[in-house]
Amino acid sequence: MVARVDSLVSVVTILADLPEKSKRPALPAVVENHFEEVPMSSTTTHEFQAETKKLLDIVINSLYTERDVFIRELISNGADALEKYRHQSLTRDQETLFDAHVPLEIRIDLDEKKKELTIADTGIGMTRDELVADLGTIAHSGSNHFLAELAEAVRKDVSLIGQFGVGFYSAFMAGSKVRVQSRSWDGSEGHEWVSDGLGSFEISECPGLHRGTRIIVSLKDGCEDYAKKWKVESIIKQYSAFVPFPIKLDGDTVNTVQALWARNRSEITDPEYLEFYKFIANAGDEPTYRLHFSTDAPLAINCLLFVPKENLEIMGFGRVSPGVNLYCQRILIDQNSETILPEWLRFLKGVVDSEDLPLNISRQALQDNALVAKIRRVITKRFLKFLDEEAGKDQERYLKFWESFGIFLKEGVASDFQYRSELGKLMRFESSKSQDGTAISLSEYVGRMSPDQEEIYYINGPSRAAIEAGPYVEMFRKKDIEIIYTLEPIDDFVLSHLAEFESKKFVSADRADLSLAGKDAQDEGKTGQGDKGLADAQSKELVAWLKDTLKGKVADVSKSSRLVDSPAMIVNPDGYMTSSMERVMAAGRLEKGFIGEISKKNLEINAENELICRLSDLVKTDETFAREVAFQIYDNAMIQAGLTVDPLEMVKRNYRILSKAVS
C-alpha cells in the first residue's frame, strides 16, 4: 500500500477574536491573510524513496485519464482529514482539542495572476514526522492504518475513501511545485512540505498555522484554467458535489445539494427528493418513480434511483447514455456508469454509493469484476422487485410507465437471462380479452386459463385490428381461448426468450404443429367434414395439385383444422421461429448487405371455404386460370402473415384475374 495524505487542510481566516481555550500561540500579523508567506526556519532536504519516485512518474504521466481529477483527489483527502478530526472530537474532551472552535470545512482560493490554486481543510492535520512519512515514503497507507485501529462499529461512522493513498501526488499533474502547510490537531507546531515532484522535498517549520492542512499548487504552463473559478467550480460540481463538509470556492459555498442517498428516508421530504432529482438528472419534470434503499449485507450499498417521466429514445433523441452515477463515500468515481447497472436499465437516473467498491489505484475504474457483478445483481433485482410492487399498488400508473419504458424491460428479457423470471412478471401485452389499447399482465392471462389449457398462445401483427381480421385468431375466438397480441417487432423475441411463465409454455399461433386444447359444443359429434365443403377425396386432390403448383414457394400444403372463415393461411414448420422473428432477422441481414431471404413456409387451406371449393372445380375446367388464383391465395396468405411478396408480379396477376372476371 502506498502512502496517503491523511489530511488536506486549511487555515481559517478567523483570527482576531479566538477564545483563550484554543490554547494557540500568538500569531504573527502576516497570518491574518493565510495566503501570504509565513516565516520559515530549520529547513531540511530529503530524497524521495525510490518507490516514491516511480510512483510519481506513474501518477503524473499515466495513472489518471483526466487531469481534472487532481482536484477531486485533493478535496477527497481534505474530507478524509475532516472526518478523522470529527471522529476524534467525538471521543475526546473538547478542552484538549487544538483549535476546537474552528469550523469543519474545505476552502479553495484561486490566484490567476500568480497561477496558484490553494485547497485547505480544517481537519486533523499532520505533524512533521507524518509529513515525511506520508508524503515522502510508501511505507504504509495512512488511511488504512487509521481504519485498522477502529472497531467495526466505529468504522461505519468514518468516511475514508482512500484505499491506495496516491491521490495527493496527482497534484503534480497540474503543478510545477506543490507546497503543503500543515498543523496537527494535537497542537504541535506546524510545518511546510515543498517539492517539485522530481526527486526531493524540503521540510521547514511554519509557525502560526491553524489546525489542518493547506496545499498550494503552482500551476504549470498550459494549466492556467485551474486558477479560474468557472473551471474549478465545474469540477467540484461534477466530482465532489456531495462531500459532507462545506466546500467554499473564493468564499462561496459550492456543494449546496445534500447527498440524500446517505440520509434516512423518513427524514427526507418530497420537495427535497424532487430538487435532488432535477440536479442529478438535469431535468425539469417530476420523476414517475423513485426508489431509495440501503443494504448492509452482502454488500454495503446506498442507492437512490429515479424513473423519468419521458423516454427520450422513443421521442427520437437517439440512444440514451446510462444515467446512474457511481460514488464511493460521496466522491464521484464513474459518471454515467456503464458497469453498475445492465445496459437495458440505462433510462434510470440517480446515484449508487458503496463502500465495497473494488476500485483500481486511480479510483477511476472498477477492478473486481465478480464483486461488481454482485453489486449489479443486488441493485437490479431490488429495482425489478420495486416495479412489481408498484404495479400491484397502482396498475394505471404502471401502465403509463410501461408505455414509455416497457421497451427497455423487453430488451432485458431478450438479452439478459438471469433476470427473466423477475422481468416476466413485469411484461404487459394486449390480448383478445383485454380492452382495446389496454395491456394485461401474464399473471392475469394465466389466471383466466381453463384447467385443461397448458400453453400461453400469442400472435404477432402490426395492429390489434389487423390481427383480429386475420386467420390466426379464428379458432381461438370460436373456442373462447384467450390469445396475446404481440404488436412490436421485439415481442416475439421476448416471449421466445421467456420460454414459459408459471410453468406454462409460450406458443405462437402461426406454428404448423399447433393443437388447441378443448372443444366447444359445436365441435361435438363432428367427423371433420362440415355440411358444405370438399369431401376428403377432393381435399386430397386439391392439396396434391397445390403442392405441385406452388413447388419452390412452400415447404408443404395441408388441409387446416383451425381455419373458420379464411380460405388459407401461412404457418411455420419451425415451431421456434415465428414469422415476425424471421422477418426482423431477414431485415437485419439485408441491412448488413446480405440477402434477407425468408425460409419456405407451409400453406394450410380451409376445405369448407367457398373460394377453395370453387378452386377445386376450376382446376378441372381452367387449370391455367386456377394457377393464377392459387398464386394469389398464396400471396394473400403471405401478406396476412406479415411476410413479403413480389409486389410487381402480384399487381400484374391481380389485373389478369380482374380481366378474366369481368370478361
Q: Domain with 463 in it: what CATH number?
A: 3.40.50.11260
71 and 114 in a single domain? The answer is yes
DSSP, residue by residue, 215-278: EEEEEPTT-GGGGSHHHHHHHHHHHSTT-SS-EEETTEE---S--GGGS-GGG--HHHHHHHHH
Residue pair 629/618 in contact (Cβ under 8 Å)? The answer is yes
Of the candidates 366, 346, 348, 364, the one whose C-alpha atom is nearest the C-alpha of residue 356 is: 366
Tell me which H or E stretch contains 154. helix 152-155
276 and 241 in a single domain? The answer is no
**Buried (b) or exposed (e) across 337-362, using 16+ Cβ within 10 A?**
bebbbbebbbbbbbbbbbbebebebb
Q: What distance in Å separates the CA atoms of residue 77 and residue 180, rounded to the nearest whole number?
A: 13
231 and 288 in a single domain? The answer is no
Q: What is the DSSP letter of 184?
A: -
Angle in degrees, CA 621, 624, 630, rounded to 5: 100
Residue pair 119/34 in contact (Cβ under 8 Å)? The answer is no
Cell numbers 427520450 correspond to: 312
User: Which residues on adjacent β-strands are paired with residue 484?
Assistant: 431, 458
Phi first, then psi: give them for residue 452, nearest 5 degrees: -90, 0
Residue 18 lies in a domain: no
Cell numbers 505533524 correspond to: 127
The better pLDDT of the pair 186, 57 is held by 186
Of the candidates 354, 25, 321, 5, the one whose C-alpha atom is nearest the C-alpha of residue 145 is: 5
Single-letter code of the amino acid located at 482: E
For residue range 279-313, list pLDDT tens digits in order: 999 888 899 999 999 998 777 899 999 999 999 88
- Predicted confidence (pLDDT) at residue 164 exceeds the cutoff of 60: no
Of the candidates 433, 456, 435, 432, the one whose C-alpha atom is nearest the C-alpha of residue 446 is: 456
In the listed set 236, 253, 270, which residue is the last one of a domain according to the structure?
Answer: 253
510 and 538 in a single domain? The answer is no
- Percentage of the chain exceeding pLDDT 90: 59
333 and 376 in a single domain? The answer is yes
pLDDT band at 592 (very low <50, low <70, confident <90, very high): low
Residue pair 187/97 in contact (Cβ under 8 Å)? The answer is no
Number of H helices, E strands in the chain: 19, 23
Q: Which three cell numbers stand for residue 574?
A: 419451425
486 and 546 in a single domain? The answer is no
The pLDDT score that the predictor gives to residue 534 is 93
Helix (H, G, I), strand (E, B) or coil at 187: coil
For residue 56, how far is the Cα from the chain centroid? 35
Q: What distance in Å separates the CA atoms of residue 414 and residue 494, rounded to the nearest whole number?
A: 5
Residue 334 lies in a domain: yes
Residue pair 146/4 in contact (Cβ under 8 Å)? The answer is no
Let me know if 388 is exposed, middle or buried by CB neighbors in 10 A (0-12, 13-18, 19+).
middle
- Predicted confidence (pLDDT) at residue 363 exceeds the cutoff of 90: no
The pLDDT score that the predictor gives to residue 317 is 77
Residue 17 lies in a domain: no
For residue range 402-411, list pLDDT tens digits in order: 999 999 999 9
> What's the rounded mean pLDDT across residues 513-522?
62
**Buried (b) or exposed (e) across 400-414, using 16+ Cβ within 10 A?**
ebbebbbbbbbbbbb
Average predicted confidence (pLDDT) for the chain: 83
Residue 333 lies in a domain: yes
In the listed set 402, 419, 445, which residue is the last one of a domain according to the structure?
Answer: 402
Of the candidates 391, 427, 439, the one whose C-alpha atom is nearest the C-alpha of residue 502 is: 427
For residue range 179-210, list pLDDT tens digits in order: 999 999 888 899 999 999 888 899 999 998 99
Single-letter code of the amino acid located at 659: S
Q: Domain with 120 in it: what CATH number?
A: 3.30.565.10
Of the candidates 254, 266, 127, the one whose C-alpha atom is nearest the C-alpha of residue 188 is: 127
The pLDDT score that the predictor gives to residue 274 is 95
| Domain, as residue range, for 295 | 260-402
Q: What distance in Å separates the CA atoms of residue 566 and residue 462, rounded to the nearest whole number?
A: 19
- Predicted confidence (pLDDT) at residue 266 exceeds the cutoff of 80: yes
Q: What distance in Å separates the CA atoms of residue 305 and residue 286, rounded to the nearest whole number?
A: 13
The pLDDT score that the predictor gives to residue 137 is 58
DSSP, residue by residue, 334-375: ETT-SSSS-GGGTT-EEEEEETT--B-TTSSSB--HHHHHHH
The pLDDT score that the predictor gives to residue 147 is 39
127 and 202 in a single domain? The answer is yes
Tell me which H or E stretch contains 568. strand 568-571
192 and 57 in a single domain? The answer is yes
288 and 377 in a single domain? The answer is yes
Residue pair 632/646 in contact (Cβ under 8 Å)? The answer is no
Q: What distance in Å separates the CA atoms of residue 540 and residue 195, rounded to the nearest whole number?
A: 97
The pLDDT score that the predictor gives to residue 17 is 33
Of the candidates 129, 138, 231, 214, the one whose C-alpha atom is nearest the C-alpha of residue 171 is: 214
Rg (CA), the chain: 37
Greatest mean pLDDT among 64-68, 567-571, 659-663 = 567-571
Residue 33 lies in a domain: no
Q: What distance in Å separates the CA atoms of residue 115 and residue 136, rounded to the nearest whole number?
A: 25
Q: Domain with 355 in it: what CATH number?
A: 3.30.230.80
Q: What distance in Å separates the CA atoms of residue 518 and residue 496, rounded to the nearest whole number?
A: 24
Residue 31 lies in a domain: no
Residue 13 lies in a domain: no
234 and 281 in a single domain? The answer is no
Of the candidates 622, 637, 612, the one whose C-alpha atom is nearest the C-alpha of residue 532 is: 612
Residue pair 248/103 in contact (Cβ under 8 Å)? The answer is no
Single-letter code of the amino acid located at 491: D
Q: Domain with 545 in it: what CATH number?
A: 1.20.120.790
Q: What distance in Å separates the CA atoms of residue 224 and residue 67, rounded to the nearest whole number?
A: 13
CB atoms within 10 A of CB 469: 12
Cα separations (Å) of 71 from 206, 247, 648? 24, 12, 68
Q: What distance in Å separates the CA atoms of residue 468 and residue 477, rounded to the nearest whole number?
A: 9
Query: How, if at all, do strands 323-328 and 331-334 pair?
Result: antiparallel
> What's the rounded mean pLDDT across residues 518-527?
44
- What's this model's pTM, rounded to 2 decimal places? 0.75
pLDDT band at 555 (very low <50, low <70, confident <90, very high): very high
Q: What distance in Å separates the CA atoms of residue 312 and residue 324, rounded to the nearest whole number?
A: 16
Residue 20 lies in a domain: no
Residue pair 550/630 in contact (Cβ under 8 Å)? The answer is yes
User: 44-48, 148-152, 192-196, 652-656: which has the minimum mean pLDDT?
Assistant: 148-152
398 and 485 in a single domain? The answer is no
312 and 393 in a single domain? The answer is yes
The pLDDT score that the predictor gives to residue 604 is 96
My answer on whether omega of the bond before 358 falls inside 30° of 0, hence cis, is no
Residue pair 119/8 in contact (Cβ under 8 Å)? The answer is yes
Number of domains in the chain: 4
The pLDDT score that the predictor gives to residue 522 is 46
For residue range 120-130, list pLDDT tens digits in order: 999 999 999 98
The better pLDDT of the pair 167, 269 is held by 269
> What's the rounded mean pLDDT across residues 610-620?
95
In the listed set 227, 253, 279, which residue is the last one of a domain according to the structure?
Answer: 253
Residue count (the chain): 663
Q: What distance in Å separates the CA atoms of residue 268 and residue 418, rounded to the nearest whole number?
A: 34
Phi first, then psi: give them for residue 31, nearest 5 degrees: -75, -15
pLDDT band at 109 (very low <50, low <70, confident <90, very high): very high
The pLDDT score that the predictor gives to residue 154 is 35
Q: What distance in Å separates the CA atoms of residue 253 and residue 621, rounded to the nearest whole number?
A: 95
| Positive or negative torsion for Cα 545, 548, 550, 556 | positive
- Predicted confidence (pLDDT) at residue 31 exceeds the cutoff of 60: no
Of the candidates 262, 242, 263, the one whose C-alpha atom is nearest the C-alpha of residue 254 is: 242
> What's the rounded mean pLDDT across residues 543-568?
94
CB contact set of 616 (below 8 Å; sequence gap of 6+): 534, 538, 541, 542
Single-letter code of the amino acid located at 255: N
Cα separations (Å) of 480 from 194, 439, 474, 640? 86, 19, 10, 22
